Amino acid sequence: MSADTGWIDTARRVLPRFLRLSRRTAPTWHLTSIADIDPDRLAEDGVEAFIWDVDGTLMSHHADRVDPSLAARFDQLLADPRFRHAIVSNCQLPRFAGLGEIFPQLPIVLGFETPAGPAFRVLEGGVESRLGPGREHLPVLGTGDPGPEVAPMRKPAAELVDVALGQIGLDRPDNAVMVGDQYFTDIVSANLAGARSIKVRTFDPPSFPGPVRYSQVFERGWVRLMRALGLATSGG
């Protein structure tokens, strides 16, 4: 499967639960970009950890570094001893390995559904760990693809946030904030996991494949409608 068809898997996962998830699309905060994050304000609000989306939040689609216009704030947050950090991305394996090189200091979580239950790959410091009851179904990274019985687990699966929080040793999800550019993946996963969330505008929309861009436009309009009708909340 090519890297550009991941949105199909996301759509397959999201559509059946579309209406229920539509009601969980309200972020805790809306910001234009991560450059507007105020570390002091978040620390005062009890935030101890950031769970980051990557593409469209920290950089252009599939770029190889945090965008220079965002790097100063991102690096400042990484260096702030008040916060821990992890990454949860809906990417595929080649991009996952690439993210490990871009963010060697952060745990990066990727999820799968297997016949034995959920399984997770966590990449940190160049070392991969496999977790969860289905982990035996995942070949070691770089040694081949899993069989057809293994399917990606993508945001908005709350388990991805749970595993990320476990990796950084935070047992209170409400003290974590998910930062992302997509309502139906990033914000809903935060709400389902009981975390707080910051919705940023998609960074560099023209860098995304056409279908992803169309879905982003649709998503924005739909969530705006849900909000206008008073139907979008962060709670259940």
Would you tell me which residues interact with Mg ion (CB under 5 A)? 53, 55-56, 181
Give whichever of 6 and 132 is closer to Mg ion, judged by the CB atom: 6
Give whichever of 49 and 87 is closer to Mg ion, judged by the CB atom: 87
Burial class of residue 44, CB neighbours in 10 A (0-12, 13-18, 19+) = exposed
C-alpha–C-alpha distance, residues 123 and 129, integer Å: 7
Give whichever of 27 and 56 is closer to Mg ion, judged by the CB atom: 56
Within 8 A by CB and 6+ apart from 56, the residues are 180, 181, 182, 202, 203, 204, 205, 208, 216
51: nearest Cα among 80, 106, 88, 103 = 88
- For residue 230, how many other CB atoms are within 10 A of its CB? 7
C-alpha–C-alpha distance, residues 154 and 163, integer Å: 13
Least Å distance, CB 43 to Mg ion, is 25
> Using an 8 Å Cβ cutoff, are 177 and 50 in contact?
yes
Least Å distance, CB 170 to Mg ion, is 22
Least Å distance, CB 54 to Mg ion, is 7
**210-228 helix and 6-14 helix, angle to the nearest 10 degrees:** 30
Burial class of residue 231, CB neighbours in 10 A (0-12, 13-18, 19+) = middle
Within 8 A by CB and 6+ apart from 129, the residues are 121, 122
Least Å distance, CB 116 to Mg ion, is 29
CB-closest chain residue to Mg ion? 56
Give whichever of 53 and 113 is closer to Mg ion, judged by the CB atom: 53
Give whichever of 6 and 134 is closer to Mg ion, judged by the CB atom: 6
Give whichever of 134 and 180 is closer to Mg ion, judged by the CB atom: 180
Least Å distance, CB 89 to Mg ion, is 8
Burial class of residue 33, CB neighbours in 10 A (0-12, 13-18, 19+) = middle
Least Å distance, CB 40 to Mg ion, is 26
